[in-house]
Structure 1
Amino acid sequence: MDTVLFVHAKGGPPLGYALSRVAARSAVHLLALSTLPSAVAASADRACASVTTADGPERGDLVSLIVTRAREVGADAVVTFSEYAVVAVAEASEKLGLPGAGSSCALARDKRLMRRVWSERGISQPRFRPVADEQDLRDAAAALRLPLLLKAAWSAGSTAHRIIRSADEVPAAWRRAREVMAESAVLGYAELHVADAGADFLVEEIVPGTAEGWFDQPGWGDYVSVEGVVADGVFHPVCLSGRMPTVEPFTERAGITPAALPADAQQRVVALAREAVDALGLENCGTHTEIKLGADGHMWVIETAARFGGAMTVPQIEEVFGLDLIGMLVDHLLGRPVTWPEEARTPEQARGAAGSFVVLAVDGAGDAWPDRRRWDFPAVRDAVPLSAGSRLSVVAENSLPDGTPVPEYDPAAGANTMAALCLLSADAPETVLHDFRTLVDALPRVLPRVETMEARS
């Protein structure tokens, strides 16, 4: 039987879901670079031939650790679905002579390198500058058009994003962004292979996005993501995911599969995503490409990752299109025949729709809730009036226990301040969007209050 070394770290699809798909294709040995979620620890022991944890100083040289463990277990492939481990796994696979994302994987991780390649190719993107210190940021603020978005070059989940509307805001933005990257590293949301990656930043112009003219229904966000796969160097688009509007600065609140775009618009979006992915020279990996939508058909590539979309993107694709992307990629890496999509699936080909919803303590306008609330999924499930036939569930391993106070939303920390992740299944993407808007409005009413003294403490 073929053997796979699964390198787990924070982020990516839920571990329980991903692990079950890998284990269905091969014997699997788990190398955990972060503590396993309590909700899946027991099932991991049952599903895996071995579970090895290296979440502290013993991790050392990560590439060497992965190579050594892969040789010990006789791995025929090495996989990860975490943003923070993709470069290390790609380099380890190269050393082992196994298929993987390839030597250019860092181009799909370091946003500075990514943007430089796209600039050389003339691919549409926001104007940007790398920044290494506060003076670099001051110089960029003088040279680029305000407002600007400061972001960490190796971050994910909108962590350390700061909007700069005037030059006076540069010192505070620089200080807070660096603080958040340090805080994220403590939580395990940080690059695991590149030393001092938390000090690398870039700043970009905020392009004028709009969903108007792209979607027939109001309420959609002004960007989409193209989910795909690169197999033997060839990009295969799978489908498009839509969004609700982000929470300031640009924190994602919800992803919806499929995006309800007309066919001609979807084709144009996919064509731009193909340019962006092809420019990076990836070999064998999932891809997740975010594209900003503008007026009069304008588009800008925001970023690409050499891994599948996070949260519930991959489970959503399996639910609505019947494609087990993780299982298919494992089969491909093991040399088995796989029929990849030649064109992105459309809403007309979907079996209903599904969406993932991040619980943040802000209302539909992005304003903080008037008082503190406790996360309580049964209260949400029983009290929020969803559409007929819609089904809401909670992703336990990505959610706080019921009764836990919902964290106050911190714009700089982004998704680090989420309370829970929910999955909703419905008959159409428009229904998912409607139900998510209902959920946003209902949460600060139906969740139980945190007592005043507790809130103060």
Structure 2
Amino acid sequence: MSTVLLVHAKGGPPLGHVLSRTAARADVHLLALSALPPAVAGSVGRLCASVTTPGDAGRSDLVSLIVSRAREVGADAVITFSEYAVVAVAEACEKLGLPGAGAAAALARDKRLMRGAWQRSGLPQPAFRPVATEADLRAAVDSLSCPLLLKAAWSAGSTAHQIISSPGDVSAAWARSRQVMAESAQLGFAELHVAEAEADFVVEEIVSGTAADWFDEPGWGDYLSVEGVVADGVFRPVCLSGRMPTVEPFTERAGITPAPLSPDAQDRVVDLARRAVDALGLRDCGTHTEIKLGPDGRMWLIETAARFGGAMTVPQIEEVFGPDLVGMLVDHLLGRPVAWPEQALTPAQARGAAGSLVVLAVDGRGEAWQDRRIWDFPVVASGVPLSPDSELSVVAESSLPEGSVVPVYDPAGGANTMAALCLLSAADPRTVLRDFRTLVDALPRVLPAAQREEASA
């Protein structure tokens, strides 16, 4: 049987899903760069041939660590599904002579390099400037049009986003973004290979999007994502996922598969995603491309990642359309034939719909909850009236333990302040959207109130 070294770090699809699909294709050796989620710790020993957790000394040269471990286990493929380990794994695969994202992987990780590559290819995106100091940021604000969005170049999950409405916001935004990146690194949500990556930023103009020209029903967000894969350098689109509107500033609340676009609109979106991925020169990896939707058919690229979408995007695709993307990518990396979709799958081909909701302490109007609440999924499941055939579940490994106080939402912290991740299956994407809106409105009402001592903890 073939052997795969799976490099685990925070983020990406749930580890339990990834492990089970990979283990069905090969012997799996796990290199754990982050702590294993308690919800899957029991199954790891059953699914993995070995589990290695390196000490701090071994992480100082992450590429060498991966290469060494791959050689020790005789790996036929090395793979990761974490944003924070993509570059290190790609470089290790290059040294090992194994298929991987390739030498261009950093272009799909560093937002400064990514936007530079798209600019050279003439692709639509917001005007931007790379910034490394507060002085750089001030100069960028003078040359761009406010409002602007300050982003950490190597972040994920909308972490450290700050809106700059005028030059007077620069100092506070710069200090806050740097503080959040330092805090995120302590939590393990940080680039694992590039030294001092938390100091790199990009600032860009905020373009005005609209969902009204793209969706038949109100309530959708003004952006979506194209899920796909690059196999032997050729982009293979799989499907589109829609979104609920973000929480200020731009924190994602929910992803829904499929995105109910018209065939013509889907074709245009996929074409832009293809050009975006091609411009980065990736070779063998999953892809996740986010696109902002504007009036009159306008679109702007947000970002592309050299890995599959995080949260429950991959399980949603498998439930709705059938393809096991994790297993298919593993097969491809092992040199086995894979029948990728001939073109992006459409809503007409879907078997229902599925969506994942990030539980944040923010109501449907985008306002913070008035008081602190306790996370209690059984109460949610029994107390929120959803559509008759909808099924709601909680993703335990991506959620706080039952009885935890729901964190106060921090706009700069993004997804770092989530309490839980819920999965909903329904008859169609419109039902998922309506049920999620019902759920968001009901959460601060049905969840138990926290006692004063708990809330201050």
Query: What TM-score, normalized to structure 2?
Result: 0.99
Give matches, 1:314-333, under 5 Å: 314-333=314-333
Aligned counterparts of 1:283 and 1:40: Cα–Cα separation in 2 = 31
Q: In the alignment, is residue 439 of structure 1 matched against residue 439 of structure 2?
A: yes
What is the letter of the counterpart of residue 435 of structure 1? D
In structure 1, runs of 5+ residues without a counterpart are: none
Q: Deviations over 1:307-347 (max 9, x none)?
A: 00000000000000000000000000000000111211000
Q: What is the CA distance between 1:55 and its match in structure 2?
A: 5.6
Aligned counterparts of 1:193 and 1:372: Cα–Cα separation in 2 = 37
User: What secondary structure is seen at the aligned counterpart in 1 of 2:185?
Assistant: helix
What is the letter of the counterpart of residue 75 of structure 2? A
Query: Is contact 1:34–1:55 with CA below 8 Å preserved after alignment?
Result: no
1:421 alignment counterpart: 421
1:278 alignment counterpart: 278
2:268 alignment counterpart: 268
Aligned counterparts of 2:55 and 2:423: Cα–Cα separation in 1 = 29
Q: In the alignment, is residue 120 of structure 1 matched against residue 120 of structure 2?
A: yes
Aligned counterparts of 1:269 and 1:344: Cα–Cα separation in 2 = 10
1:301 alignment counterpart: 301
Query: Is contact 2:224–2:243 with CA below 8 Å preserved after alignment?
Result: yes
**What's the Cα RMSD here?**
0.7
1:239 alignment counterpart: 239
User: What secondary structure is seen at the aligned counterpart in 1 of 2:7?
Assistant: strand
Aligned counterparts of 2:425 and 2:211: Cα–Cα separation in 1 = 23
Give matches, 1:149-298, under 5 Å: 149-298=149-298
1:79 alignment counterpart: 79
Aligned counterparts of 1:73 and 1:186: Cα–Cα separation in 2 = 30
Aligned counterparts of 1:435 and 1:35: Cα–Cα separation in 2 = 33
What is the letter of the counterpart of residue 63 of structure 1? V
Q: Deviations over 1:250-284 (max 9, x none)?
A: 00000000001111100000000000000000000
1:390 alignment counterpart: 390
Query: Is contact 1:251–1:414 with CA below 8 Å preserved after alignment?
Result: yes
What is the letter of the counterpart of residue 353 of structure 1? A
Aligned counterparts of 1:262 and 1:140: Cα–Cα separation in 2 = 38
User: What secondary structure is seen at the aligned counterpart in 2 of 1:25?
Assistant: coil
Aligned counterparts of 1:74 and 1:57: Cα–Cα separation in 2 = 23
1:43 alignment counterpart: 43
Q: What is the CA distance between 1:453 and its match in structure 2?
A: 3.8
Q: In the alignment, is residue 334 of structure 1 matched against residue 334 of structure 2?
A: yes
User: What secondary structure is seen at the aligned counterpart in 2 of 1:49?
Assistant: strand
Aligned counterparts of 2:12 and 2:278: Cα–Cα separation in 1 = 22
Closer, same or farther: CA 55–318 of 1 in aligned 2, 3 Å: farther
User: What secondary structure is seen at the aligned counterpart in 1 of 2:83?
Assistant: coil
User: What secondary structure is seen at the aligned counterpart in 2 of 1:409?
Assistant: coil
What is the letter of the counterpart of residue 212 of structure 2? E
Aligned residues: 457
User: What secondary structure is seen at the aligned counterpart in 2 of 1:60?
Assistant: helix
Aligned counterparts of 1:152 and 1:428: Cα–Cα separation in 2 = 36
Query: Is contact 1:129–1:140 with CA below 8 Å preserved after alignment?
Result: yes
Query: Is contact 2:58–2:65 with CA below 8 Å preserved after alignment?
Result: no
Aligned counterparts of 1:255 and 1:322: Cα–Cα separation in 2 = 18
Aligned counterparts of 2:456 and 2:113: Cα–Cα separation in 1 = 45
In structure 2, runs of 5+ residues without a counterpart are: none
Q: What is the CA distance between 1:451 and its match in structure 2?
A: 1.3
Aligned counterparts of 1:128 and 1:452: Cα–Cα separation in 2 = 44
Aligned counterparts of 1:454 and 1:436: Cα–Cα separation in 2 = 27
User: What secondary structure is seen at the aligned counterpart in 1 of 2:84?
Assistant: coil
User: What secondary structure is seen at the aligned counterpart in 2 of 1:361?
Assistant: coil
Query: Is contact 1:5–1:75 with CA below 8 Å preserved after alignment?
Result: yes
Aligned counterparts of 2:295 and 2:365: Cα–Cα separation in 1 = 22
Q: What is the CA distance between 1:456 and its match in structure 2?
A: 3.8
User: What secondary structure is seen at the aligned counterpart in 2 of 1:355?
Assistant: strand
Aligned counterparts of 1:88 and 1:58: Cα–Cα separation in 2 = 13
User: What secondary structure is seen at the aligned counterpart in 1 of 2:45?
Assistant: helix
Query: Is contact 1:35–1:55 with CA below 8 Å preserved after alignment?
Result: no
Q: Deviations over 1:108-157 (max 9, x none)?
A: 00000000010011000000000010011111111101000000000000
1:451 alignment counterpart: 451
User: What secondary structure is seen at the aligned counterpart in 1 of 2:12?
Assistant: coil
2:108 alignment counterpart: 108
Q: Deviations over 1:57-116 (max 9, x none)?
A: 432200000000000000000000000000000000010000000010000000000000
What is the letter of the counterpart of residue 249 of structure 1? P
Closer, same or farther: CA 55–229 of 1 in aligned 2, 3 Å: farther
Aligned counterparts of 2:17 and 2:455: Cα–Cα separation in 1 = 35
Query: Is contact 1:209–1:294 with CA below 8 Å preserved after alignment?
Result: yes
Q: What is the CA distance between 1:365 and its match in structure 2?
A: 1.2
Aligned counterparts of 1:355 and 1:263: Cα–Cα separation in 2 = 21
What is the letter of the counterpart of residue 97 of structure 1? G
Q: What is the CA distance between 1:299 and its match in structure 2?
A: 0.2
1:137 alignment counterpart: 137
Query: Is contact 1:376–1:402 with CA below 8 Å preserved after alignment?
Result: yes
Aligned counterparts of 1:56 and 1:428: Cα–Cα separation in 2 = 47
User: What secondary structure is seen at the aligned counterpart in 1 of 2:404?
Assistant: coil
What is the letter of the counterpart of residue 428 of structure 1? D
Query: Is contact 2:405–2:454 with CA below 8 Å preserved after alignment?
Result: no
Aligned counterparts of 1:454 and 1:308: Cα–Cα separation in 2 = 37
Aligned counterparts of 2:243 and 2:157: Cα–Cα separation in 1 = 14
Query: Is contact 1:33–1:55 with CA below 8 Å preserved after alignment?
Result: no
1:349 alignment counterpart: 349
